[in-house]
Structure 1
């Protein structure tokens, strides 16, 4: 005997769960750290690495600007703006050989270049994607990198153009086997969020991690506020692995010595702690990386 109504309900349930709903990801032991933007002579080998975590260095930054004093946009032709003297292809190879749990990515964009902001400013979607795929593939292969991070913070285009450019870039690099993972690094600003949420809506299935800049909130954030911010952003990037974060110089958000790890323990107990990232190794080196050690020790706990 058949029950058409029941069968229809079951079909709709399967359709919703397979195409629209993204289950909450499990907690992870992922630790990530940006490195190289401030030219403080920090090396990969300076940073403590716990063998019981997944560890990602993120080179900062590759930018589609030239490297002259004019710092002009180059429509997807990326150049290296990190400290290549201390963070070279040879040093990438050495740290990955010494620590099998280490992967290295590069971040695109960032806040500024020599004469101002690093704007996302493509001439067209097709030309930007073509140039970006070509130039980044070259850099990634030269450095034997594993992934990319999207950290544009200033825009001279609409959210849909940003979404198509970056989404197609990630899709092509993954399809070509050039990268294994991709992340985005938004923060709570209306223009920034409009661009990243458009990208998430169209290409969220290709984005492995959300490096949300919780340190962009006001300095003196409380533990309760931090957890509220985390839950709010997790709902916006629904189904994504939203990582918590702090800034080494303590200039914003919830500082490590003011309750950051209390918040982390709370989220971990609720199975919501998907990882921790830090901006940045360049600043942390000044104090000997105490909070990197503490973060990894927390993540290493089963």
Structure 2
């Protein structure tokens, strides 16, 4: 009896005063690498892109767009169609790359910059009908291609932030609830209209969003390391609690480039446990250079803490 009481007392004390080892937070994982692919029809294939086995690798097919030509003049009704290079990035090629690399997942991105020689606007006529159509059309595409997640990359808006919030938030929630996808990301950049929409979405549905693919390459070309780190801190504060990924653009047209200090900034963030991952726009442009910076990015991410 006395032994039982002593044992129970020890259990209670352990619950109240857990060991120091058990209360230390695990280091943040920072081995996620993501690459957009297929938007520019440069005949790039999944197999062209080097995959380091020691990172988590996401290909992001670009783009699926709710542009339904049969519904003109109101084509943005949630009925998504594929606008990426399906000749080189087909369902069988998705299955093949995932079979070759156990660390590879494949997602699709919604929206993008343009469609049919104009901007790809977010402009639904009704939240309920848009969400219903989007869930249906995207479920079909995701299952056909055996995809794992979605990315939200709308950049032009003719709807208010609340409408965007409900449409996208309800869409992500439904796809996750139905187990159609296992992760979702958003891809904002530092523009007042863009940020007003994505921050409204984040405030209400941030718990459903796994990654923030912040387009740091949308800042001015020639961004310095110090400026980049300041921008990162600002956006990490804006998307408080989110996994804000850093990024570069393959053609060097904006932001902090790999040639001018991008990896210096990444190393500093990694040393501070703030590097949640790296993404690249895009494989289509990187192909000509042999994916040099993709290799360097993944090598950095693969270094253990």
- TM-score with structure 2 setting the length: 0.89
Tell me how far apart the structure 1 counterparts of residues 26 and 244 of structure 2 sit (CA, whole Å).
11
Q: Deviations over 1:3-50 (max 9, x none)?
A: xxxxxxxxxxxxxxxxxxxx9982420000000000000000000000
C-alpha distance 49-271 of structure 1, shift in aligned 2 (>3 A): same
CA contact (8 A) 2:66 2:111 kept: yes
Q: Distance in 2 between matches of 1:273 and 1:27?
A: 8
Aligned residue among 224, 229, 232 for 1:230: 232
Bigger Rg over Cα: 2
Q: Does 1:160 align with 2:162?
A: yes
Mapping of residues 1-302 of structure 1, within 5 Å: 26-66=28-68, 73-302=75-304
Count how many residue pairs are aligned between Structure 1 and Structure 2.
Answer: 279
| Alpha-carbon distance in structure 1 between the residues aligned to 2:129 and 2:73 | 20
Check the 8 A contact 1:25/1:239 in 2, yes or no.
Answer: no
Q: Following the alignment from structure 1 to structure 2, what is the Cα–Cα distance between the partners of residues 102 and 273?
A: 20
Q: 1:25 to 1:60 in 2, by over 3 A?
A: farther
CA contact (8 A) 1:64 1:77 kept: yes
Secondary structure of 1:84's counterpart equals coil
Query: 1:92 touches 1:144 (CA, 8 Å); kept in 2?
Result: yes
After TM superposition, the runs of 4+ consecutive aligned structure 1 residues lying more than 2 A away are 70-74
Where do 5+ consecutive residues of structure 1 fail to align? 1-22
Q: What do you get for the CA RMSD once the two structures are aligned?
A: 1.5
Can you give the 5+ residue segments of structure 2 that lack an aligned partner in the other structure?
Answer: 1-24
Q: Offset of 1:74 from its aligned partner?
A: 3.4
User: Contact 1:65/1:79 (CA < 8 Å) preserved in 2?
Assistant: yes
Cα gap change, 1:227 to 1:24, in 2 (>3 Å):
farther
Once the two structures are superposed, residues 66-122 of structure 1 have per-residue CA deviations (whole angstroms, 9 ceiling, x without a partner) of 368x89623100000000000000000000000000000000000001221000010
